[in-house]
Amino acid sequence: MFVIATVAGFILIFSVLLDAFETIVLPRRVQRHFRLTAWFYRRTWRPWRSLARYIKTPGRRENFLGYFGPLSLIFLLALWAFCLISGFALLQYGFGKHVQLGSETINLWTLLYFSGDTFFTLGMGDVLPTATPSRVLTVFESGMGFAFLGVVIGYLPTIYSAFSRREIEISLLDARAGSPPTAGEFLVRLGGCAQQAVLDEIFKDWEHWAAEVLESHLSYPVLSFFRSQHNNQSWLGALTIMLDSTALVISGIDGIRNEQAKITFAMARHAAVDLAQVVNAQHDPSDHSTRLPQEEFVRLRESFAKRGLRLKETPEAGKKLVHLRSLYEPYAVGIAKTLFITLPPWIHAEKRKDNWQAGPWDKQIQAAAGRPEGDAASPAEEHF
């Protein structure tokens, strides 16, 4: 019994330390059959997502889903701490000798309490180690408790710093691509710019953004579960509309060169493929639905024509767009299903306000100014 407890304690401590190292320190995706962190997220995200399906109001559902990322981070740290405490308790039970103040006998539950007391450095002193191995374990566990506190202090700011950098570019899409952003709005608002360099510079910024999202989400997979501040925005939606936009430019738009678009598409597609594996997304070969049905493509082309943009209508251009979409859409759809994120359309069915155009005081301000209700909002494509 004591040998089994000792071996189990070593295995538990080693497994947790390895898992914490791979999750926090190691800056790459780990491909191993079993990982405690991966097991934890699979067992907690699925029921959380299932509960969210019963919430019919989109805003409330997004708020509920938004709690998962921060809460899961807290509970993961608590799980690591509990496993380490349990592992040291098993080691103390396996080859340690202790005395306790009072008449109570030393058992595994008492040693679990003693291990927690040592890990969090409470110093109660009502259970004392008397053998050399147990004393060494006590010192080692106490030091690990300080190290764990340091991990918590350093890990959380790193996560939120990466989250903040991710959200800045997503917020910038509000005025550039609508709310929620779409490729149609993005190219209509910026594709007709007189200077090609402006569009290329934005594509270049999004190339860097896609690379940073890939790096941060590979290093800290929990970021995939962090929702954006607005209900109609998401990191996956932003990545998808940039892939949609660059695919349209690459397939051919008169007057717009596609050199930078090709580079941005390559980086964004790389991010989509790798992040689909990070969140363990699954591909459904039987799903033949399309994000761009023919009638929507016709509306997209007509919307472009009204603003002076002309999509190439050659068979080669059509085949190229279909091929480009096949390179990333299955991954985007798989991630969206796994994370319960709604992918943006290629073009809105009707005109919508941008997030910056709506405010809680607007109706009162209009009434005070003597303006008819609803007169303050311009159409989305005439927002400036």
Q: Which of 100-104, 175-179, 193-197, 206-210 has the highest mean pLDDT?
A: 206-210
Specify whether 42 is located in the same domain as 171: no
267 and 319 fall within a common domain: yes
How far apart, in whole angstroms, are the C-alpha atoms of residue 56 and residue 378? 30
Better-predicted residue by pLDDT, 103 or 77: 77
Identify whether residues 244 and 182 lie together within a single domain: yes
pLDDT at 384 over 60: no
Amino acid at 355: N
Verify that 148 and 40 share a domain, yes or no.
yes
Q: How many residues does the chain have?
A: 384
The most confident of 88-97, 240-249, 342-351, by mean pLDDT: 240-249
Mean pLDDT of 307-311: 87
Shortest CA distance to 52 belongs to which of 380, 295, 339, 284?
Answer: 339
| Same domain (yes/no): 68, 112 | yes
Q: Determine phi and psi for 311, rounding to 5 degrees.
A: -75, 140
Residue 42: CATH number of its domain: 1.10.287.70
E strands, 130-267, where?
none
Average model confidence (pLDDT) for the chain?
87
Q: Kindly state whether residues 190 and 141 are assigned to the same domain.
A: no
- The total number of structural domains that make up the chain: 3
142 and 171, same domain (yes or no): no
Q: Which of 72-76, 107-111, 267-271 has the highest mean pLDDT?
A: 267-271
| pLDDT grade for 194, boundaries at 50, 70 and 90 | low
Percent of the chain with pLDDT over 70: 92
224 and 241 fall within a common domain: yes
What was the pLDDT predicted at 197? 85
Cβ 296 vs Cβ 240: under 8 Å: no
Per-state percent for the chain, helix, strand, coil, to nearest 5: 70, 0, 30
**Which of the 8 DSSP states describes residue 380?**
G
Calpha distance 297→328 (Å, rounded): 18
**137 and 79 housed in the same domain:** yes
3-state class (DSSP) for residue 280 = coil
Type of residue numbered 50: S
Whole-number pLDDT of residue 371: 63
User: Which residue did the predictor score with more confidence, 124 or 166?
Assistant: 166
Residues 52 and 96 in one domain: yes
pLDDT at 190 over 60: yes
How far out from the chain centre does Cα 80 lie?
21
Which DSSP symbol is given to 355? G
For residues 54-78, average pLDDT: 93
Residues 6+ apart with CB under 8 A from 204: 260, 263, 264
Residue 250 in contact with residue 320, Cβ under 8 Å?
yes
List the structure tokens of 164: 């903040």
Per-residue pLDDT averaged across 8-26, rounded? 88
Domain end call among 129, 153, 177? 153
CA distances from 312 to 200, 254, 322 (A): 20, 7, 13
Query: What tens digit of pLDDT does each residue of 196-238 get?
Result: 888 899 999 999 999 999 999 988 889 999 999 888 899 999 9
Query: How does residue 82 score in pLDDT terms, banded at 50, 70 and 90?
Result: very high
Range of the domain at 252: 160-351
Q: Same domain for 195 and 229?
A: yes
pLDDT in the model for residue 30: 64
User: Per-residue pLDDT averaged across 314-331, rounded?
Assistant: 94
Last residue of a domain, one of 108, 135, 153: 153
Residues 194 and 99 in one domain: no
Considering 102, 123, 153, which residue would you say is the last residue of a domain?
153
**So what's the pLDDT on residue 41?**
92
The pTM (predicted TM-score) of the whole model is 0.86
Contact (CB, 8 A) for 347 and 178: no
Give the residue carrying structure tokens 């800045």: 168
- The span from the CA of 367 to the CA of 361, in Å, is 10
